[in-house]
């Protein structure tokens, strides 16, 4: 397992491909680092998120694992997130798109009972929001922790962006309203929302998708 980590740490995706050809069982084996033992693709996303890898480098590593037969719908043993949710929540949209390209399931819930669409909305990733809507995911689903729709998560991401957010929450809200989601009644009395002209326009359907 340390050899796989060595490939990541030395930024050598070709070396990873050679390693997986020799030891294919490593393709889906947990990467053990302290008390954290995620799937290798999740471990790559961790490194992109904290800056140890660029997004392009992360995608190259993910491609090597996908080509070697990675389980695209592997679930994190600790929080229940799929690899797709992990890639989105860790601000790795290129890897998320590649997982979708290869057939990853966009529907499962993960931590907080949230879906990939919830996370794409809060992270401000309109390209992924549009792709997931076009795929036909259920846009009205509320998470189990905060009882928010993906539109609510987009609003929250605009008001209090999470680490790694890409800044496209208003565009995400615009897409979600155009797809049929409606603002919550209490948002009309929220000073934060009402003072944000761009967000208010998106929620009113006055922004073009």
Looking at the 3D structure of the chain, how many domains does it have?
2
Same domain, 90 and 47: yes
| The last residue of a domain, from among 64, 84, 105 | 105
**In this predicted structure, what is the pLDDT of residue 35?**
85
Q: In which domain, by residue range, is 136 found?
A: 111-209
pLDDT classification of 209: cutoffs 50, 70, 90: low
Whether 39 and 31 have beta carbons less than 8 Å apart is answered as: yes
The mean pLDDT value for 5-23 works out to 93
pLDDT tens-digit profile of 47-73? 999 999 999 999 999 999 999 999 999
Q: How many CB atoms lie within 10 A of CB 204?
A: 10
**In this predicted structure, what is the pLDDT of residue 78?**
87
pLDDT tens-digit profile of 188-202? 999 999 999 999 999
Same domain, 27 and 81: yes
Question: Residue 164 burial by CB count (10 A; 0-12/13-18/19+): exposed, middle or buried?
Answer: middle
| The last residue of a domain, from among 84, 105, 126 | 105
pLDDT tens-digit profile of 102-134? 999 999 999 999 999 999 999 999 999 999 999
**In this predicted structure, what is the pLDDT of residue 34?**
83
| The last residue of a domain, from among 75, 105, 135 | 105
- Between CA 39 and CA 41 the distance in angstroms is 6
Mean pLDDT, the chain, rounded, equals 95
pLDDT tens-digit profile of 139-150? 999 999 999 999
What six digits make up the tokens of 128? 């992924």
- Between CA 130 and CA 136 the distance in angstroms is 10
pLDDT tens-digit profile of 162-181? 999 999 999 999 999 999 99
Same domain, 180 and 90: no
Cα–Cα–Cα angle for 81, 83, 86, nearest 5°? 65
The mean pLDDT value for 76-99 works out to 96
Same domain, 53 and 125: no
Same domain, 116 and 142: yes
Contacts of 131 (CB under 8 A, 6+ apart): 97, 100
Same domain, 137 and 208: yes
Same domain, 8 and 76: yes
Whether 136 and 166 have beta carbons less than 8 Å apart is answered as: no
pLDDT classification of 1: cutoffs 50, 70, 90: very low
**In this predicted structure, what is the pLDDT of residue 190?**
95
Same domain, 68 and 123: no
Same domain, 41 and 88: yes
CATH classification at residue 177? 1.25.40.20
């Amino acid at each position: 397992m340390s050899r796989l980590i060595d490939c990541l740490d030395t930024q050598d995706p070709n070396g990873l491909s050679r390693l997986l050809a020799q030891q294919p069982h490593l393709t889906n084996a947990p990467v053990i680092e302290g008390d954290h033992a995620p799937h290798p693709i999740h471990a790559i996303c961790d490194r992109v998120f904290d800056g140890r890898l660029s997004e392009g480098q992360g995608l190259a590593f993910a491609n090597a694992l996908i080509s070697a037969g990675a389980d695209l719908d592997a679930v994190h043993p600790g929080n229940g997130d799929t690899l797709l949710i992990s890639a989105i929540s860790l601000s790795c949209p290129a890897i998320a798109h590649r997982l979708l390209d290869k057939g990853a399931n966009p529907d499962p819930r993960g931590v907080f009972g949230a879906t990939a669409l919830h996370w794409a909305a809060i992270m401000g990733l309109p390209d992924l929001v549009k792709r997931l809507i076009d795929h036909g995911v259920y846009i009205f689903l509320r998470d189990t922790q905060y009882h928010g729709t993906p539109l609510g998560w987009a609003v929250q991401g605009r008001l209090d962006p999470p680490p790694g957010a890409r800044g496209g929450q208003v565009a995400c809200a615009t897409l979600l309203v155009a797809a049929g989601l409606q603002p919550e009644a209490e948002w009309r009395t929220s000073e934060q929302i009402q003072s944000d002209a761009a967000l208010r326009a998106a929620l009113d359907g006055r922004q073009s998708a």
